[in-house]
Amino acid sequence: MIQLEDLTKTFSTPNGPVVAADKVNMTVPTGEICVLLGPSGCGKTTALKMINRLIMPTSGRIYINGEDTTQLNKFELRRRIGYVIQQIGLFPNMTIEENICVVPKMLGWDAKKAKERAAELTDLVGLDPHQFLHRFPKELSGGQQQRIGVIRALAADPPVMLMDEPFGAIDPINREIIQNEFLKMQEVLKKTIIFVSHDIDEAVKMADKIAIFRGGKIEQYDSPSQVLAHPANPFVADFVGSDRTLKRLRLLTAVDVRDIDAPVASMQASVEEVLVSAKSHANRIVVLIDADRHPVAYVTADELSGATGVVSDFAHDLPTTVPVGADLRAVVSEMLSHDTMWITCVDERGHFAGVVTQPAVTAALGQKSSSVRDQATDARLANV
Amino acid sequence: MFSAKDFSRKLQLLAMLFIGFYISWSGLYDEIATYWEDIVYLTQQHIFLVATSGLAAILIGVPVGIWLSRPAMERSAEAIMQVFNIGTTIPTLAVIALSMTILGIGFAPAFFGLFVASLLPIVRNTFTGLLAVPDHLLEAATGMGMTPLQILIHVELPNALYVILSGIRTALAINVGTAPLAFLIGGGGLGELIFTGIDLMETGMLLAGAIPTAMLAVTVDFLTGQGQFYFVSRGVNPLR
């Protein structure tokens, strides 16, 4: 847990004192990612760097797991905090292994243990230790270097990590991949992380909590869905953008809004049967599945009404399907690109897993609830 | 890779080959051989002069360069470097002459003159090499909890080493090239054969001094080049 208490930094400049951080108060619970977000010069990086005392606070206190860090020697303090910067900062004169072992060595680990740790971590980010540990940073791609930058910070297993726009210099495609990898790692590692970003999309994706800064002050400190659904003031609303409702699509997955009880029928079912089940669900669409429950086609109730025979005669090809774990942004994007009001979800094995409709998506985004995420969880539980 | 350095080295070797042919053709070899004892003695003297003054310049120049590159020196470092830069513009012969006026004749003024002449490139390259280490490396190192001394030893010096060694290489080249002038102020060395040979119009004697001097210069350059190749980490070494 990280607690900042009245943290203040005043820089004296030739034009008089500048307040970079003004009585910042916040608590980041253990195992959560808190993103400090704001335009440049808003004090987010200053706030971050005061935590590992790269910048000395003018006043205020910082507690890490309840311990007042002002009492600690700054070198000891920093060795206990993982630090990742945008420029990565791998030491080019050292091999990857040496880079990872810097902090463990300073902490007095024996060489064998440190090397084992380096191999373990390299493996964790999907790089082959035999291939990469003895390379130099210049022999790695930007994405690989940033992965090493992250695991170097994790080397001595610090409970707390500070990340200063860690994925800012990576191309969008790789950034997405590394962010996902990092979130997956975080699920297991449960570090307490403070993460500086100026990218609202990244913040929404990574954060458990977002702190929006302006002029050294926190304007709003809340969960991503709260910040997007209920911006505290016009500045926050403006900063998160007029498309903030669309950004919330990211926070929900198809599971949260799908209708798992949507009617299905086999290809060989009779028209009458299908019409009955469509009526009972008040649904105009019935998805047809094969013997293995793979969705293969659909029929509309309108076309069936008054007809007889087997439904396969009226079947249309399914425009597309989405994995049930996909976020709503991807789902809506698929709907729009196929010009359809509904979409079929499939699970990992390709089995039918419900239907997502545009009204269901709209309803989920429109909820004036305290937390969309909470409701979504409720809905998920109700579906199980 | 075809660089000016490689080219000049090849040119040097070629020149030496032709000199070798010329010497054996003209019967100069026998003439030079008569100075063999002088050559051995004076070469030793010459190497001693180069080695001591060069080593002293490294031992003083590198720490001075480090000191000037520290953040505390940020304001005054440039001014001090200007003094060093003015020092470089003084011809080495003048430096030697000036040191004679202060220290008299013999080993001491020769040592001092060569020391001063080789100090400047070392200080300058150490200083600029250390300043060229990117800030984000220092930030990463500091953020990881390294002390300033650890940062200097494990991050700054290894990353600046190539540039520092280039300075040492330049300095030693200047040193070896200037060392024959030491004879003029009584410092001994192979200059004795060269200058006496010139005065007496004796080609054999002249070459008895000039050839070992040339060989020494090539050897020193080769050795420092090897040092640059092997001592600088592969991660920051442009040679490999």
Of residues A368 and A302, the one with the higher pLDDT is: A302
Nearest to B191 by CA among B98, B124, B93: B93
Q: Are A121 and A136 in contact (CB under 8 A)?
A: no
Domain extent for A114: 2-250
Does A26 score more than 50 pLDDT? yes
d(CA A218, CA A235): 11
Does B25 score more than 80 pLDDT? no
pLDDT of residue B160: 96
Q: Identify from A49, A52, A93, A138 which residue to disrupt to test chain B contact, counting B C-beta atoms within 10 A and taking the largest count.
A: A93
Q: Identify from B137, B138, B144 which residue to disrupt to test chain A contact, counting A C-beta atoms within 10 A and taking the largest count.
A: B144
Residue with tokens 């008569």: B34
Same domain, A229 and A284: no
Same domain, A190 and A262: no
Mean pLDDT of A4-28: 91
Does A374 score more than 60 pLDDT? no
Structure tokens at B162: 């190539």
Share of chain A above pLDDT 70, in %: 95
Q: Does B236 sit within 8 Å of A102, measured CB to CB?
A: no
Nearest to A340 by CA among A357, A322, A361, A364: A357
Quick check: helix, strand or coil at residue A354? Answer: strand
Same domain, A216 and A270: no
* Choice among A174-178, A275-279, A289-293, B95-99 with the minimum mean pLDDT: A275-279
Q: How confident is the model at residue B170 (pLDDT cuts 50, 70, 90)?
A: very high
3-state SS of A91-135? CCCCCHHHHHCHHHHHCCCCHHHHHHHHHHHHHHCCCCHHHHCCC
Chain B: nearest CA to A202, how far in angstroms? 23
What's the total number of domains in chain A? 2
The burial of B104, by beta-carbon neighbours within 10 Å (0-12 exposed, 13-18 middle, 19 or more buried), is given as: exposed
Same domain, A182 and A324: no
pLDDT of residue A372: 44
Specify whether the backbone of B138 is left (phi greater than 0), alpha (psi in -120 to 50) or beta.
alpha
Q: Does A138 sit within 8 Å of B139, measured CB to CB?
A: no
Same domain, A92 and A230: yes
Same domain, A148 and A125: yes
Same domain, A129 and A149: yes
Residue with tokens 């520290």: B70
Same domain, A156 and A133: yes
Of residues A263 and B61, the one with the higher pLDDT is: B61
Q: Does B159 sit within 8 Å of A75, measured CB to CB?
A: no
Same domain, A114 and A19: yes
What residue of A is the nearest CA neighbor of B135?
Answer: A89
Same domain, A160 and A30: yes
What is the value of pTM for the model shown? 0.81
Does B191 score more than 50 pLDDT? yes
Same domain, A102 and A184: yes
Q: How confident is the model at residue B2 (pLDDT cuts 50, 70, 90)?
A: low
Q: Are A250 and A203 in contact (CB under 8 A)?
A: no
| Boundary residue ending a domain (A229, A250, A271) | A250
Share of chain B above pLDDT 70, in %: 98
Share of chain B above pLDDT 90, in %: 57
| Boundary residue ending a domain (A184, A217, A250) | A250
pLDDT of residue B31: 78
Mean pLDDT of A91-116: 94
Does B147 score more than 70 pLDDT? yes
Does A377 score more than 90 pLDDT? no
Does A332 score more than 70 pLDDT? yes
Question: Is A88 near chain B, with CB under 8 Å?
Answer: yes
Taking each helix axis from N to C terminus, what angle separates B203-231 and B36-69, rounded to the nearest 10 degrees? 40
CATH code for the domain of A127:
3.40.50.300
| Boundary residue ending a domain (A250, A282, A301) | A250
Q: How confident is the model at residue A170 (pLDDT cuts 50, 70, 90)?
A: confident
CATH code for the domain of A261:
3.10.580.10
Question: Is B199 near chain A, with CB under 8 Å?
Answer: no
Residue at A119: amino acid letter: A
pLDDT tens for each residue of A268-308 = 888 888 888 887 777 778 888 888 888 988 888 888 887 88
Same domain, A273 and A233: no
